[in-house]
Amino acid sequence: MEHITIFLGDSTGHGVAAALSTIMANVILFEERKSSLEQVMVHLNEVFEQHLPEERFISAILTNISQYGELKTIIAGHPPVILIPADGDVPILLKPNTTILGILPKQLFNVHEIQHSLKTGDIVIHDTDGIYEVRNSDGKMFGIEGLRNFLSENRALDLDSLITHLIDHVNSFTQEEEANDDITLIAFEYIG
């Protein structure tokens, strides 16, 4: 396999309308699987801008990782991609730099691709905003800093343990309060 592509989207709203947006994205991703990341995002934006109701939009991350560790990602109005370097440095946030999908017409939609060379042992995390928006019984949000602090303190753990401990930590933080949004997390370690 020459590369792996990851798409993570988060549609406004819940239920059937949000699910249909996800289905549309999957169809486009399959049709455009040989296209560049930029071409895929432009096409996704065009379809969503034309077909989604005005109050609906999608934030998304589209990432491609080559077998040589070249990570290319486009973050469209979505929370940052988190990179935990194998050398023990503080987690790096690859921040959004492309407009959310479905709002701007094609001629105004600008795509910015982020590139990063992964090293063996680097961990990359894609997630939705649901993890940042969970609250404890006092109403305090977990936030991106809560996640970043947790990852900094636990970066020595292997990937499976890190994710298990993170889920336990979030559940402990919320004191079993019901989450208002779904939480999706995709994590991988580059092994060279």
The 10s digit of each residue's pLDDT in 146-179 is: 998 899 899 889 999 999 999 899 888 888 666 6
Helix (H) or strand (E) holding 11: strand 3-11
> Domain tally for the chain?
1
List the CATH number of the domain containing 36: 3.60.40.10
In 3-state terms the chain splits into helix, strand, coil percentages (rounded to 5) of 35, 25, 40
Find which of 29-43, 59-73, 133-147 is predicted with most confidence, using mean pLDDT. 59-73
Cα 132 from Cα 122, distance rounded (Å):
22
* Res 116: pLDDT: 95
Place of tokens 């910015």: 112
* Res 65: pLDDT: 95
Largest CA distance in the chain: 48
* Res 181: pLDDT: 65
pTM: 0.87
Among 88, 82, 100, CA closest to 45: 100
* Helical ranges in the chain per DSSP H: 16-31, 37-51, 130-133, 143-153, 159-174
Where in the sequence is the domain holding 12, given as residue range(s)?
A: 3-189
